[in-house]
Amino acid sequence: MEKDNTIKRGKLIVVSAPSGSGKTTIVRHLLKQEELNLEFSISATSREKRGEEIDGKDYYFLSLADFKKKRKNNEFLEWEEVYPENYYGTLNAEVERIWAQGKHVIFDIDVSGGLRIKDKYPEETLALFIKPPNVNELIRRLKERGEESREKINMRIAKAPVELATARSFDKIVVNKDLDKALDDAYDLVSNFINNKS
């Protein structure tokens, strides 16, 4: 990605959090704000589709073999084995696609992946951490979603304290206790970053 100087780099907005913190709701809200000129970075994953997810819209669904091949060929800006044999990553081509449209990229991404993007593009990236009010609320939200097995939910709950401990590595923390306030806070932070206001 470094070699192509014809593409003007936009900003990179990383939104990370433990599962159930509300990051997807916040990302969807930000995408609706046309003045922010954001485009969603579609992640690649080796996991199975859930519910009514659509390939090329929700994720690029790759076979495990395809994912590993692209990884070997350095086609990912970042990638992570989130759970055993369950990979997620951001394709370099996806960021280039969005920058070529003159837009800024927004990521709804795992904590580790978000920090890797920040490491690679420190000047262009605003890394937001969405924090639940407490762990009990996080557990309640995960169970209420009803999308996953008890085993998967327990894996996410076990991972949450480790993810919460990374919050200080992010540029800004948005506490999602009151959703309307969290949406406003996230909007202000992104708008100021894009417009180079401190």
Sign of the C-alpha dihedral computed for residues 67, 73, 75 and 80 taken in this order: positive
Rg of the chain (C-alpha set): 16
- Number of domains, the chain: 1
| Position 5 in a domain | no
Contact 173, 167 (CB under 8 A): yes
| Position 3 in a domain | no
Tell me which amino acid residue 154 is: N
Residue 76 to residues 8, 22, 43, 53, 100: CA-CA distances in angstroms?
19, 26, 10, 22, 18
| Position 166 in a domain | yes
Q: What residue numbers bound the domain in which 117 lies?
A: 12-194
| Position 52 in a domain | yes
Residue 34 predicted with pLDDT over 70: yes
Percent of the chain exceeding pLDDT 70 equals 94
Average pLDDT estimate for 82-92 = 90
CATH number at residue 56: 3.40.50.300
DSSP output for 144-196: HH--S-HHHHHHHHHHHHHHHTTGGGSSEEEE-SSHHHHHHHHHHHHHHHHTT
3-state DSSP call for residue 4? Answer: coil
Residue 194 predicted with pLDDT over 90: yes
Cα 130 from Cα 182, distance rounded (Å): 9
| Position 1 in a domain | no
Q: Which residues of 151-183 are buried (b: 16+ CB within 10 A; e: fewer)?
A: eebebbbebbeebbeebeebeeebebeeeeebb
Residue 112 predicted with pLDDT over 80: yes
DSSP output for 56-92: TTTBEE--HHHHHHHHHTT-EEEEEEEETTEEEEEEH
pLDDT digits (tens, 9 = 90+) for 43-59: 999 999 989 999 999 89
| Position 131 in a domain | yes
Residue 103 predicted with pLDDT over 90: yes
pLDDT tier, 147 (very low <50, low <70, confident <90, very high otherwise) = low
| Position 143 in a domain | yes
| Position 134 in a domain | yes
pLDDT tier, 146 (very low <50, low <70, confident <90, very high otherwise) = low
Residue 3 predicted with pLDDT over 60: no
Phi and psi dihedrals of 71, rounded to 5?
A: -60, -45
Higher pLDDT, 112 or 146: 112
Reference 90, options 52, 59, 57; nearest CA is 59
This prediction's pTM: 0.85
pLDDT digits (tens, 9 = 90+) for 131-145: 988 777 777 877 777
Contact 70, 62 (CB under 8 A): yes
Higher pLDDT, 159 or 7: 159
Cα 72 from Cα 65, distance rounded (Å): 11
Residue 197: what pLDDT?
Answer: 67
